[in-house]
Amino acid sequence: MTAKKIIEDCEDLYNDLDFTSVKTWKEKTGGKAIGYLPVYVPREIIHAAGMLPVGIMGGGPNLEIIKGDAYFQSYICHIPRSTIELGLLNKLDCMEGFLFPAICDVIRNLSGMWQILFPEKYVRYLDLPQNFDKEIGGEFYRHEMEQLLHDLEELSGNKVTPEKLNRSIGLYNKNRQVIDKLYAMRVAQPHLVLTSDLYLLLRAGNVMDVEDHTRLLEGYMAEVVKEDRKKFDNIRVIVSGAFCEQPPLALIKGLEASGCYIVEDDWVLGARFLQKDVPITADPLEALSDAYLNDSVSTSSKYEDEKEKGKYLVDQVKMLNAGGVIFCAPSFCDPALLERPMLTAALEREKIPHTSFKYAENTGQFSMFREQTGTFADSIKLWGEA
């Protein structure tokens, strides 16, 4: 399969609001599926229970909101309304359970709405620790995971042994390694590994088995090198703020078309949340917990105590030789927008150019974004700063 064909297939998955691939997986394996919202859940536990973790990232640009708006005021972001719309249209029926990880008050309250709207489904709010001491936050998180594991055992009818969980951990370690390789490849050759390709590949991982996804990524990387893609005089940028509600694909393409090579981003961040391999030990829950506490990414839904705010972003800029940062956050997104002034301050201390805009997952107009990022790119090219 050519790289182009692989991406076309991924785009079909991206556009498929009926989650056909999930249904196919269920038919094939007889297993159950668990949906989860952004940003991070320990998918290894779901996998070890013989279930398919399914990343739900709203309805995207193609879903018309008919019922969802009745549930949310105009000043609340878009992802909960499209998620409710999908639920009410029975498009999420193929999932037996739903996880709502702690990220913000809107997703938190959505978990309660889900409990009321879909009483027949397993619904769990996954409270993630903001205390990163092993003995305190780790202990609490361990309880959360034990409860989850127990619930999923019941729901699936499968016992999760440490061996099974370790096997799943191994598969997700491998998957993250391959994703890291893909990101490294884009850093080296951003004209070759287009961000829209990379994005669609990551999105595909939301709705397929982890081993299949790993193979898909490997297949793409083997194929894409055969492509002859033109190199443009683009600037290298980092995109930040899009970790929950996703920008429309057209917007991502528009960023590239406006003269930017994106060398780092935070969309589909859950797939890259843990930055190191989770070790295979006799106590896999402890290993997962340690990984979360010690080796997870910096992002605004996590409390940062000791670390210097925004340092990770500055480091990324330097390490990846980026020319600037584009803050691209959903309208009304509390975590991203409250974080933004702290991140821009950190960038300004280092004289790193940045620009910001807001979108909604179903934004229908792109010319103004293109114009803004195009100007940003030009000014960096011309004067080395925005």
Partner 1 sequence: MEEDLLAWLLVNYKLAQHRVQLEALKEGCFKDPAVTEATKEALEKIFAELFKEAETMFQPNVKSRSDFFRDIASSGFMTSAEKLAKNDSVLFDRLISIFDRTILRVESKSYATMFETYMTFACEQTVKHPAFSAFGDRIRKAIAYAVSVEFQPINTIGTGYGRARLPFPKNQIRSEILCHGLGAHYMFPGTRTVLDIGGQDTKAIQIDENGIVTNFQMNDRCAAGCGRYLGYIADEMNMGVHELGPIAMKSRKQVRINSTCTVFAGAELRERLSLGEKREDILAGLHRAMILRAMSLLARSGGIDDEFTFTGGVAKNGAATGALRTLVEENYGKKTINISADSIYTGALGAALFAKRDQLGETVNVDLKKLKKQKAAIAA
Partner 2 sequence: MKKITPAPVAQKDIEKEESMILQKKMIGDHFKRLCTAKEAGKKVVYTFVPGNINELIWALDMLPVHPEINALQSAMRKKSGDYVMEAEKHGHSEDVCTYVKCDIGMLKKGNIGPTGEKLPEPDLLLLSYTGCFTFMKWFELLKQEYKCPVVMLQVPYQANGKIEPKMTDYVVRQLKEKVIPALEQVAGKKLDMNRLSALLESSARAEEDLVAVWDSAKNRPSPIDAYFGGVYYVGPIFSAFRGLPECEEYYKLLRAEVEYRVRHKLGPVTPEGVMKEEKYRIVVEGPPNWTSFREFWKMFYDEGAVVVGASYTKVGGYYDRGFRHDPEKPLESLANYCLGCYTNHNLSSRIDILEKHIKDYDADGFVINSIKSCNSFSAGQLMMMRELEERTGKPGGFIESDLVDPRYFSAANIKNRLESYFQMIEAKRQAAA
Residues that bind partner 1 (CB under 8 A): 61, 64-70, 73-74, 360, 362-368
Name which of partner 1, partner 2, none residue 264 binds, using a CB cut-off of 5 to 8 Å depending on partner kind: none
Q: How many residues bind partner 2 (CB under 8 A)?
A: 54
DSSP-assigned states of every residue in 29-65:
H---EEEE-SS---HHHHHHTT-EEEE----GGG---
* Residue closer to partner 1, measured from CB, 25 or 357: 357
* Residue 109 Cβ vs partner 1, minimum distance, rounded to whole Å: 17
Tokens of 220: 């793409």
* Residue 308 Cβ vs partner 2, minimum distance, rounded to whole Å: 10
Name which of partner 1, partner 2, none residue 139 binds, using a CB cut-off of 5 to 8 Å depending on partner kind: partner 2
Mutual angle of helices 249-257 and 195-205, in 10-degree steps: 160
Coil/strand/helix, residue 86 = helix
* Residue closer to partner 1, measured from CB, 47 or 81: 81
* Residue 216 Cβ vs partner 1, minimum distance, rounded to whole Å: 30
When asked if residue 56 is in the footprint of partner 2 (CB under 8 A), the reply is: no
Helical spans, DSSP H, in the chain: 3-15, 20-29, 43-48, 79-88, 105-117, 139-156, 162-188, 195-205, 210-224, 249-257, 284-295, 311-319, 334-349, 367-383
* Residue 16 Cβ vs partner 2, minimum distance, rounded to whole Å: 28
* Residue closer to partner 2, measured from CB, 123 or 268: 123
Q: Which of 62, 115, 189, 375 binds partner 2 (CB under 8 A)?
A: 115
Amino acid letter, residue 147: Q
Distance of alpha carbon 244 from alpha carbon 57, whole angstroms: 7
Tokens of 224: 């894409």
When asked if residue 112 is in the footprint of partner 2 (CB under 8 A), the reply is: yes
Chain Cα centroid distance, residue 329: 13
Chain Cα centroid distance, residue 75: 23
Q: Cβ(275)–Cβ(312) under 8 Å?
A: no
Name which of partner 1, partner 2, none residue 220 binds, using a CB cut-off of 5 to 8 Å depending on partner kind: none
Binding-site ranges for partner 2 (CB under 8 A)? 70-73, 75-76, 80, 102-106, 108-113, 115-117, 124-125, 127, 129-131, 133, 135-137, 139-140, 143, 300-301, 303-305, 309, 331-335, 337-342, 344-345, 358
